[in-house]
A and B are shown apart, each in its own frame.
Chain A
Amino acid sequence: MALAKDYASVMGRNNEIMKDALGLDYAEFEKSPIAFDYDALMKSTGYTLEEIERIQGLHGVGNTPLLELRNITKLARKYAKPGYGARIFVKDESCNASGSFKDRRAACAVAHAKKLGYKGVMAATSGNYGAAVASQAAMQGLNCIIVQECYDSHGVGQPEIVEKARKCEALGAEVIQLTVGPELFYTFLSVLEDTGYFNASLYSPFGIAGVETLGYEIAMQCREKLGKDPDMVVCTNAGGGMVTGTARGLIKAGCTDTKVVAASIDLTGLSMASDVDFNKKSCTTGHTGFGVPYATDPDHSDVPRSAARPLRYMDRYTTTTQGEVMYMTEMLANLEGIERGPAGNTALACAFSLAQELPEDAVLVVSETEYTGAGKHIQPQLAFAKENGIEVRFGDPSEDKPGTNVILPSNPGLIKCKDADLKHFKESLIKKSVKKAGVEPTEADLEFLAEEVKEDVAFVKAALGL
């Protein structure tokens, strides 16, 4: 008998569909209604860092150049106090096969799908991950379906997302595009069930393990080139995979003193599920609309337990604005001669400001760049903003109002990242976890929650008023 494919029926089969589509039973990692064994989940990939390096090396991924941004460093020093202004480096992740660090995640997920005998892979993503999965599926001989949230109710697509659809198709994938709304997950599950493909989730342990090589390479390249570990690594933060994987790789390399800083574009005030707000965004990723909910509630993704848990690893969470990121993207092109996509430069915008807090001999590494192309470039993104009634002008980025304006800094000295309230995010994760479970936390739960937010048990107890 054919299975009922209505919304309630398909969503009701979520657990079985996911179990079949991941080749992994998450139930075995659960320890209590609150806690699960994160280390065991990460070990479940069964791949060592060396094996992941080998898989990536076979598929055009990894070993990207670490470029010193000498002119941008020189410019940052003009605005820093004497003796300050760290050397800024960037990991040129656009050199990966499909043009972003997401290839690291996709290479492992697709290799794993192939090993388990799946005929195809699927991913729900409007970002670079789609192209990454499509590219790896092409290399490894599997079918690929990407499901995107792409259009508003008038059928107007975000130029950045439309370009990503084009790229997926160019790499042989089927692209399913939807209007705004979280029920994208229903379509995703339904097709996953029909096809029996592997869910190449961004949040699987294979995906996150794939990013560990990025942190590891940063450490090794810094030691080789500079004879020291990086003092600070700045990672753009959306779903949390970049922060988690990079930090884990740095730890595996023994970089115990390196500070890991998350960076997101502040889009406070714009609803991510709003049809009207959808095209008022001028950057579709790397922003707080993903960054904050995924950091404070990692398990609302497309897998039962997300392997991306950024609050376990970040030392600071900084924000920047759309205008500052656009300006930095143009700066990277004009002063360093490399033209890259804007969203990937979120961390660079924060880094320009953070470098000014560090002494001149400090080493600051920005963990990524991404490819640029039609739609995915500051000119079409700013032109699109104007078409949608967003005011684009020069000014002080502190006047930034997401959805109303894009303020390009009047001069580079005005580029200043802000510290988000990390303590509040940590407290929020703790409270949400306990509320969701609906039970009194045990001592073991409190210890788990302390690890979840990189704090001690006393911090967790204080957050819960215990």
Chain B
Amino acid sequence: MAKKGDWVRIHSVVLKADERTAKLPEDTQKCDLEMWTKGFLQEDAEIGDVVTVKTACNRLEKGTLIDDNPYYTHSYGVFVPEIIEIDKQLREIMQFGGEE
């Protein structure tokens, strides 16, 4: 249950796939044009309800409630061993720390 005033994320469909008339590749033509935004919830609601939020710019926007207290999870990614190889190679070529 999300409370009125919570910071939430909403989702909506701007154009259904069959409403898309722009020149699009076939794969994109099959997809809806979807939109996400965030704001303060205007009434108590459950995830999945259609709600109204007030955005950071005080706009009222409607959509399906998908997340309460949303946060970012992007990161520096998992270890990529090739990067260490690059570092080692460059430092060797440049003889950092002097010749062996």
Contacts and interface: CB of A to CB of B under 8 A. Distances in A.
The finding on whether chains A and B are genuine partners in a shared complex, rather than unrelated, reads yes
B82 A178 contact: no
A324 to B, nearest CB: 11
B80 A274 contact: no
B15 A143 contact: no
Contacts of B20: 181, 183
B22 A183 contact: yes
A187 B76 contact: no
A198 B55 CA distance: 18
A71 B74 contact: no
A71 B96 CA distance: 10
Q: Kindly name the residue among A144, A375, A393 whose own CB sees the greatest number of chain B CB atoms within 10 A.
A: A375
A172 interface: yes
Interface string A404-437: 0000100110000000000000000000000000
A411 B89 contact: yes
Contacts of A275: 25, 27-28, 30-31
A330 B90 contact: yes
A223 interface: no
Interface residues of A, number: 64
A359 B19 CA distance: 58
A19 B53 CA distance: 29
Interface in A367-388: 374-375, 377-384, 386
A174 B54 CA distance: 10
Contact of B74 (A75, A155, A163, A195): A163
Contact of A380 (B19, B38, B57, B76): B76
Interface string B15-54: 1000111111101101111111111000000000000000
B61 to A, nearest CB: 8
Interface string A108-143: 000000000000100000000000000000000001
A187 B86 contact: no
Nearest to B28: A275
A271 B28 CA distance: 10
A380 B85 contact: no
A41 interface: no
Given A274-B25, A382-B80, A175 B74 contact: no
B77 A7 contact: no
A408 B57 contact: no
A183 B74 contact: no
5 contacts: A151-B34, A179-B35, A181-B20, A380-B74, A380-B75
Interface of A: 7, 71, 74-75, 78, 120, 143-145, 150-151, 153, 155, 157, 159, 162-163, 166, 169, 172-183, 186-187, 191, 194-195, 271, 273-277, 327, 330-331, 334-335, 374-375, 377-384, 386, 392-394, 408, 411-412
Which 7 A-B residue pairings sit nearest by Cβ, starting from the closest? A380-B77, A383-B77, A153-B31, A174-B56, A375-B74, A274-B25, A275-B28
Interface of B: 14-15, 19-25, 27-28, 30-39, 55-59, 72, 74-80, 82-83, 85-87, 89-91, 93-94
